[in-house]
Structure 1
Amino acid sequence: MKIWKDIVLSPNDTIREAMRTLDKGSLRIALVCDAEQRLLGTVTDGDTRRALLADANMQDPVSKIMNTSPISVSNGCSRERRLQLMNQHDLTAIPILDSSNRVISLETLHQAMQPEQRDNPVFIMAGGFGTRLQPLTDHCPKPMLRVGDKPMLEHVINQFISYGFHDFYISTHYLPEVIRSHFGDGKDWNVSIQYVYEDCPLGTGGAIGLLPKNLPKLPLIMMNGDVLTKLDYARLLRHHENQKFDATVCVREDEHRVPFGVIETEEELITSMVEKPTYRYKINTGIYVLNPDIVGSVQPSQRIDMPTLLEHHRGNNKRIGTYTSYDYWLDIGQMKDYQKAQKDINIHFKLPNGSDNE
């Protein structure tokens, strides 16, 4: 942050000048640097109080009271690590240094607790008819059915916002005006929301071809608008990038326990006998990360499902991978799922202070 330059002291500045700087900066810390902005130490309110109680003179140089071994981090240090250090050492701010020990920034605790802004576009599919939830969906798109005190689509968007995403696209078809009138252009959520409209359903992947051609050249996250999840989208995106995948399918582990003995045969002869086996599967959560070339491969008005699209690219030697999520996830496809969502919402979508995920 630029404000750090206002709280820099030289080692010859007085304790009185340090106190004035601390008062002016309101950060409870001042940085003591040499002429090249190399960090020599820090001074806090506590340092000045202890110095005066020890009969220091207000005209004494600040070098006499500064902490010569302050906690600092390099420019490459992750936000999670910076936040951990501040909490561990009860700091309100931490200096960020380059390889020559020069101060290049100062991160406050407030800043570190804010989500890192992510410019990756988010594409939410919200055009389905929701026939299995009739009559609730007779006059309302399924993603706009209320779960708790807000539509499920708003929960979806809020979860993305909590991880710093701000560039949203929503695919509509059934009763699109209900979605548009609620979210508008997204300004009430401090995000951008644009819409694409399917004249006729194009399959789970076809709406990708309706997206603007000037999307950021970054991986796009795509998901169904009738899914409630507490998925860590930052971790999903990091996994996609670290593995150098062209597309990532978010999956969950599921199992099916057969309550009987299972017998396999070949030409009437038993080849194996397993008593009450358990079969484990990876199921598709309806959440994907797609690189720009995958997104750009879908043509306008092309009807295609996501498995077909990904199989096509896998056949062309693209790296199509998976990310296994253990976070809360619920696909609201049937009435029993919708009823479960009403029970789960107060457990999984409430913050410790009792407020919701806004």
Structure 2
Amino acid sequence: MASLENPPLDPAATLRDAVRAIEATHRRIAVVADAAGMLIGTLTDGDIRRGLLRGLTLEDGVASAMNAAPTTAHAASERSYLLELLVNRGFESLPLVDAQGRYVAVVSRYDLGPAGSAGAPVEARSAIALAVIMAGGEGQRLRPMTETLPKPMVDIGGMPLIERIVRSLIAAGVPQLRIAVNYLHHVIEQHLGDGSALGGRIDYLREKTKLGTAGALSLLTDRPDGPVLVMNGDVVTSFDCNALQRYHAEQEAMVTVAAMEYRVDIPYGVIQSDGACVTGLMEKPSQRFLCNAGIYMLSPEALERIPPDRAFNMTDLIETCLAAGQKVCIFPLHEYWADIGTPKDLADARLALLKLT
């Protein structure tokens, strides 16, 4: 039931090392142990992202975001006990230790499932009920390329950008996709069809007039029975949509906004002042901003706040939820992300993909 696929990290490891360890196995956890094998702590994807929100970087040590008092179980525990512990605590995985507290292995819910094998696969179906891709924009800054081609159909790494997005969502197990279309919609629909050639199911939300970055969601005929992923059709990213869903659920948010970090380095000494008086000096400061990445996870109830038949943006939805006292959270991205707005953005993304593949 347990597995040695999760070798422990050294206490000197970085958060980047922890990300790699988490991504290397379906157990979604990194374990830290000392030279004697004693368990020191654990890290999950959520631990790392919450650390990033506190200003940490992936070059910081694992201790900066680690859970130093994780729930553990004895390696000789019965299968039924381990499964009950995981379910009752809401954990995907937990470390197993021996009587002296030395790390032995990690066990997950999937290890304890019907197959009960250490190599149990990740669940085939995502907990995301529906993904909606906003693909109705004109891409005016990419003209003349977009005079006859909608921006989501621009080639990135040998395939249209929107096909790359669709393939990634289908591979992640998202069961249903909707694509909101307007400008040159027939080009997108003819290329992707109903999605069956890609192994998925695609339907289209056809905007008669431009409805903004959230208004097209009012065209959904049935309320989804789970969280809804919404993303712009001009984004290139390697992010894990299921990690976003799990984070959204952990935070019990109405809306979760994916955010990318943007730093501004000021190449001068900055004077701090109070009127005509100098109060301090900052030598070449760097300012950090979290910027909207155009990717969102919505609880189904959030869709009820979108008015029908008029333009309504995601920023409007977020402000509406905040005004109602509902929880809106940030999901900081550490994965590759690019917005394709200009010819330079497109060239940079094409070059970045060559390096990533």
Q: Does 1:189 align with 2:198?
A: yes
Q: How many Å apart are 1:206 and its aligned residue?
A: 1.6
Match of 1:324 among 316, 332, 335: 332
- Code of the residue aligned with 2:254 in structure 1: it is D
Gaps of 5+ in 2: 1-75, 95-103
Give the direction of change, closer, same or farther, for the CA distance of 1:315–1:135 in structure 2 (3 Å limit).
same
Match of 1:334 among 335, 342, 351: 342
Cα pair distance change 1:228/1:234, threshold 3 Å: same
RMSD: 2.8
CA distance in structure 2 between the partners assigned to 1:266 and 1:119 by the alignment: 51
TM-fit CA distance, 1:80: 7.5
Asked whether the 8 Å contact 1:229–1:329 carries over to 2, the reply is yes
Partner of 2:154: 145
Mapped to 2, the partners of 1:131 and 1:262 lie a distance apart of 37
SS of 1:337's partner is: helix
Shift of 1:267: 2.9
Q: 1:282 to 1:106 in 2, by over 3 A?
A: same
Measure the CA separation in 2 of the matches of 1:119 and 1:267.
53
Instruction: Identify which of 244, 254, 261 aligns with 1:253.
Output: 261
Structure 1 CA distance for aligned equivalents of residues 213 and 204 of structure 2? 16
CA distance in 2, matches of 1:342, 1:127: 22
Deviation at 1:132, TM superposition (A): 0.7
Q: Which of 156, 164, 169 is the aligned partner of 2:173?
A: 164
- Residue in structure 2 matched with residue 206 of structure 1 by the alignment: 215
SS of 1:207 mapped into structure 2: helix
User: What letter is aligned with 1:125?
Assistant: M
- The answer to whether residue 180 in structure 2 is matched with residue 175 in structure 1 is no
Identity fraction in percent: 31
Q: Tell me the residue number matched to 1:283.
A: 291
2-side partners of 1:293 and 1:300: how far apart? 15
Summarize deviations over 1:122-141 as a string: whole Å, max 9, x none.
01000000011111111000
Aligned partner of 1:57 in structure 2 is none
- Structure 1 residue runs without a partner (length 5+): 1-68, 83-87, 98-104, 351-358
Give the aligned length. 265
Partner of 1:273: 281
Q: Secondary structure of the equivalent of 1:343? A: helix
Mapped partners of 2:354, 2:93: distance in 1: 30
Kindly indicate whether the alpha-carbon contact (under 8 Å) linking 1:121 and 1:215 is maintained by their aligned counterparts in 2: no
Q: Is the 8 A contact 1:249 1:284 kept in 2?
A: yes
Report whether the alignment pairs 1:243 with 2:242. Answer: no
Question: CA distance change for structure 1 residues 346 and 75 in 2, over 3 Å: closer, same or farther?
Answer: farther
Deviations 1:209-241 (A, max 9, x none): 1222x1322111101011011101111110100
Distance 1:112 1:70, change over 3 A: farther
> Does the CA contact (< 8 Å) of 2:127 and 2:226 recur in 1?
no
Secondary structure of 1:137 counterpart: helix
What is the TM-score when the length of structure 2 is the normalising length? 0.67
Structure showing greater Rg: 1
Would you say 1:231 and 2:239 are equivalent positions?
Answer: yes
Any idea what SS the aligned residue of 2:215 has?
Answer: helix
Displacement, 1:330?
A: 0.9
The residue identity in structure 2 corresponding to 1:120 is A
TM-aligned CA distance change 1:216 to 1:107, over 3 Å: farther
Q: Which amino acid aligns with 2:297?
A: V
Equivalent pair of 1:247/1:291 in contact (CA under 8 Å): yes
How far apart in 2 are the matches of 1:158 and 1:187?
11
- CA 271–188 in structure 1, closer or farther in 2 if over 3 Å, else same: same
For 1:114 and 1:196, the matched residues in 2 are separated by 29
In 2 relative to 1, CA 71–161 (structure 1 residues): closer, same or farther, beyond 3 Å?
Answer: farther
SS of 1:112's partner is coil
State the alpha-carbon separation in 1 of the partners of residues 118 and 220 from structure 2: 38
2:125 corresponds to 1:120: no
